[in-house]
Amino acid sequence: MWRFTAFEALLGPEDYNPDVTLPVHSSGAGRNAVARNARRSSRSRPAALKGRRGCERRAEGAMWGRLCGSGRILLLAGAARHCGRPHRTQKLFSTSSVLSATEDEPTAPTDSTTKVASKEGAAETPKQKLLKMIGDMKVEVTTKRKFQQLKEQEIKKQATNKQEGLHGGSSTFQNSAEDVQRSKPLNPELVQAASAVASSFPHNKEQAESELLAQLRRHEETTDKQRRGGTINICNVISEMTVKRQSPAQRGVRISNRISLEMDEDGQRIKPGRPSSHSDSGRSLKAGKRLNIFTKASPETENALKTVSSPTIWDLEFAKEIAAVTEQPPRNGFEEMIQWTKEGILWEFPIDNEAGMDDGAEFHEHIFLEKHLKDFPKQGPIRHFMELVICGLSKNPYLSVKQKIEHIEWFRNYFEEKKEFLQEI
C-alpha cells in the first residue's frame, strides 16, 4: 500500500537521532522557507487528501496518536515538521498528491472512453446490426386457440383435397405445391441476419454462412411439416414413450457417491472405488423374481403373537424406558415444536376450538334433558327446581353431556336420601 509506505519511510529508521542531525545552519531564512514549505505542503495536503483520502488522514492521525507515547517519535515529527526533513516530507506529500492525481485521472478518462465507444460502435460493428435486427423481429407465439384454429384449417384443407382427389389429378398439384413451398426462398431478413453472424466468425465465413442457411431451410421444413401434420403425430410418438423415474433417494445417493470428502491420515482424499457392484446389488435386491429359498413364518406363530394379552405394566415401563433412552434432543425449532405438541404444551394448528371437549354428542342431547327427569315427582317444588336446573344445563356450553347427566343424577340421589325428611315436612 503506497499510503503506508510513505509513513513507514517517515518513521522508518527508528535509530534516527534527531538531536544529532539537527542542521547547524538553521537560519531564519531557512526556517521561514521550511515554514512556507510546510504550509504549502499542509495546504496542498487537504487539496490532495479529500474524499477518499479521509481514511488516510484518519490513519495518519491514528498512527501519530498511537505513537505519541514515545517521545522520540514526537521529536522526530517535530524535527520533520520544522527542520529535519522538510524536503522529504514535501516530496512524500507531493508524491501522494501526484499519485492521488494519477489515480483520479485514469477513472475519468476510462469513463469518457466508454461513453465514446458506446456512441461510435453502435453504428459500425455488424454484431450490433445483427442484435438490432433480432430485436426488431417479432416472435410468433402459438397459443392453444391458435393451434386449434390451425388444426381446423388443415382438416378443412384435407377435406377439400380429398374432394379434389376424388375428381382426380389433384395429387400432382399437391406435390407441385409442396415443391413450390420447399423451393420458396427464405425470409430475406433471416438471410441478412445469417450473413451478419457469418461475418462475425473469425474464419471460414462462407462455409459458416452456407451452413447457417441450410439450417434455416431445414428449420422451415420442419415447421411446415408440423403445421400440416398437426398434433396427431406427436401424440402417437409420446404415447409409445415411457418415463423413467428416478427416486430422489437414488438421485441423492448418486450425487453423494460422486464426491467423497473423507480424508486419509496423510490428508489425501479417499476416492470412491467402484461402487457399481453395490448399486447393482441394491437394485437387484428389490427387483427380480423371488427365489423362494426362505420359507415364510408359519401362520400358527403369527396367530400366537396376535393373541397375546394386553401389554402389562412392565411392558409399558419397558417401552417408556426405550423411548426415553433413544430420544435425541430436538435438532431444530420444528422438532421442538413437534415434541411440545406431543406433550400437550403446544396446541395443534389450525386451532380447533373444541379441542379437548368434543364427545361426539349432538346438540339435541345437550338441550333436551327432560328425559332424565323421569324419576322425579311430577308435581311440587322439586320438579320446579329440577326444571330450572335443566334449563341452566341446556344453556351451558362448557359441560359435556356426561357431566350434565351426572349433575342430574347427583340431585336425584340427594333427594332420594332426603325423601323421609321431605315427607315429614
Partner 1 sequence: MAASALCWALRVARQVLPCPSQTRSYYVDWRMLRDVKRRKLAYEYADERLRINAIRKNTILPKELQEVADREIAALPRDSCPVRIRNRCVLTSRPRGVKRRWRLSRIVFRHFADHAQMSGIQRAMW
CB of 261 to partner 1, least distance (A): 33
Our finding on whether 422 is near partner 1 (CB under 8 A) is yes
User: What's the DSSP call for residue 18?
Assistant: T
H or E segment to which residue 195 belongs: helix 188-200
Q: Report the nearest approach of partner 1 to the CB of residue 309 (Å).
A: 29
- Say if CB 23 and CB 85 are below 8 A apart: no
336, 327 Cβ separation under 8 angstroms: no
| Contact call for residue 337 and partner 1 (CB under 8 A) | no
Span from 95-103, 181-189, 349-357, 416-424 in contact with partner 1 (CB under 8 A): 416-424
Nearer to partner 1, 2 or 410 (CB): 410
**For residues 186-225, which are near partner 1 according to CB under 8 A?**
none
Minimum distance from residue 17 beta carbon to partner 1 (Å):
59
What's the grid cell of residue 223? 415447421
In b/e form, how buried is each residue of 193-227, taking b as 16+ CB within 10 angstroms? bbbbbbeeeeeeeeebbeebbeebeeebeeeeeee
- Which residues 355-394 are close enough to bind partner 1 by CB under 8 A? 381-382, 384-385, 388-389
Of the pair 2, 385, the CB lying nearest partner 1 is at 385
Q: Considering beta carbons, is residue 263 or 346 the nearer one to partner 1? A: 346
Name which position in 53, 85, 372, 407 contacts partner 1 (CB under 8 A): 407
* Residue placing its CB nearer to partner 1 in the complex, 359 or 406: 406
Task: Write down the least CB distance from residue 290 to partner 1, Å.
Answer: 48
Q: Which range in 171-179, 193-201, 347-355, 406-414 contacts partner 1 by CB under 8 A?
A: 406-414
Question: Smallest distance, Å, CB 348 to partner 1?
Answer: 21
CB of 403 to partner 1, least distance (A): 9
Q: Is 253 in the site for partner 1 (CB under 8 A)?
A: no
CB of 407 to partner 1, least distance (A): 7
CA distance 80 to 91: 12
Q: For residue 255, state whether it binds partner 1 (rule: CB under 8 A).
A: no
Q: Report, in Å, the least distance between residue 410 CB and partner 1.
A: 6
What cell numbers appear for 372 in the block?
Answer: 332424565
Maximum pairwise Cα distance, the chain: 139
Q: Is 410 in the site for partner 1 (CB under 8 A)?
A: yes
What is the four-CA torsion angle of 186, 192, 196, 198, rounded to 10 degrees? Answer: 30
83 contacts 31 by C-beta, under 8 angstroms: yes
Residue closer to partner 1 by CB (options 272, 380) is 380
Query: Rounded to a whole number, what is the distance in angstroms from the first to the last CA of the chain?
Result: 113
What is the C-alpha to C-alpha distance for residues 220 and 226, in angstroms, rounded to an integer?
10
Least distance (Å) from partner 1 to the CB of residue 377?
Answer: 13
Residue 404 touching partner 1 (CB under 8 A): no
Q: How far is the CB of 360 from partner 1 (least distance, A)?
A: 23
Q: Cα Rg for the chain, rounded, in angstroms? A: 49
Q: Does 421 bind partner 1 (CB under 8 A)?
A: yes
How many CA atoms, within 13 angstroms, populate the side-chain half-sphere of residue 25?
A: 2
Total of residues contacting partner 1 (CB under 8 A) = 14
Which residues contribute to the site for partner 1 (CB under 8 A)?
381-382, 384-385, 388-389, 407, 410-411, 414, 418, 421-422, 425
